[in-house]
């Protein structure tokens, strides 16, 4: 498939089960695996890694601010060196676990509030890039299509995977609608497929006010904690295969 399909996974922690990794994994082509700071514990992370390797899925690290209680969705203003250390810790841990299982870490995708902040903050993005490159310069960065992340990664000569969202509503300014607003998360399969069709065929998305904006993406994300995720990824995968003519 020319268009990558990714999902946030490995986010279960202890008895708190998040998502349906086993049902989702067969239909995606990339897996963003939590690193323990917003979700995920060593046991669930390792199981998800093994599942990704079993299905020959590209693996990415999914680090966040240190925010287990808020699932990494609360913005945090941290000193540059502190944030860099936090990111190195998470990325290096996941890289080591992936390699010990016989796999390869291919990219890093920030999670939640870290992702949203980096999308418009040069300082946050540069901290993320520096942390990644200090561990492995060959790792790519996955981030919001058309964002500051994409611009700075290009300036640093870093491989960038431009991402769009299948199950999130966009605002007319190109940002994602706040989860606090009704309709921000798309759970109806038909709505999601329509959004993916627009992204793939016309490189655009329909916004909250009914207008369309241009979005050029290399990968499409479905959130693993979306209750409809297993059905959504299956239908999207079928659509993408049909688009590819195979």
For the chain, domains (ranges, CATH) are 4-243 (3.20.20.370)
Query: Quick check: helix, strand or coil at residue 129?
Result: helix
Q: What is the pLDDT of residues 54-93, one digit of tens each?
A: 999 999 999 999 999 999 999 999 999 999 999 999 999 9
The pLDDT of residue 1 is above 70: no
pTM for this model (two decimals): 0.94
Q: Are 40 and 10 in contact (CB under 8 A)?
A: yes
- Average the pLDDT over 203-209 and give the result: 95
Q: What is the pLDDT of residues 216-241, one digit of tens each?
A: 999 999 987 778 888 989 999 999 99
122-135 helix and 80-100 helix, angle to the nearest 10 degrees: 40
Tokens of 99: 């390699």
Query: Quick check: helix, strand or coil at residue 244?
Result: coil
Q: How far apart are CA 72 and CA 114, in angstroms?
A: 8
Query: Quick check: helix, strand or coil at residue 150?
Result: helix
Beta partners for residue 30, in sequence order: 6, 58
Query: Quick check: helix, strand or coil at residue 4?
Result: strand
CB-CB neighbours of 78 under 10 Å: 15
Q: How far apart are CA 114 and CA 243, in angstroms?
A: 33
């Amino acid at each position: 498939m020319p268009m990558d399909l990714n999902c946030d996974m490995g986010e279960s922690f202890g008895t708190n089960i998040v998502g349906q990794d086993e049902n989702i994994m067969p239909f995606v082509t990339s897996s963003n695996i939590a690193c323990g700071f917003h979700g995920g514990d060593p046991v669930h992370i390792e199981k998800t890694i093994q599942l990704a390797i079993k299905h020959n899925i590209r693996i990415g690290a999914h680090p966040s601010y240190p925010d287990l209680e808020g699932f990494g969705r609360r913005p945090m203003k941290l000193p540059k060196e502190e944030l860099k250390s936090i990111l190195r810790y998470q990325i290096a841990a996941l890289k080591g676990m992936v390699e010990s299982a016989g796999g390869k870490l291919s990219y890093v995708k920030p999670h939640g509030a870290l992702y949203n902040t980096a999308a418009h903050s040069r300082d946050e993005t540069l901290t993320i890039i520096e942390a990644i490159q200090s561990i492995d310069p060959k790792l790519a960065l996955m981030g919001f299509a058309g964002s500051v992340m994409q611009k700075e990664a290009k300036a640093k000569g870093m491989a960038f995977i431009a991402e769009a969202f299948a199950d999130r509503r966009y605002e007319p300014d190109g940002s994602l609608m706040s989860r606090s607003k009704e309709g921000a998360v798309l759970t109806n399969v038909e709505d999601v497929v329509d959004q993916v069709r627009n992204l793939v065929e016309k490189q655009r998305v329909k916004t909250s006010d009914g207008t369309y904006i241009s979005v050029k993406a290399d990968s499409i994300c479905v959130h693993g904690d979306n209750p409809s995720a297993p059905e959504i990824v299956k239908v999207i995968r079928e659509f993408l295969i049909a688009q590819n003519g195979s």
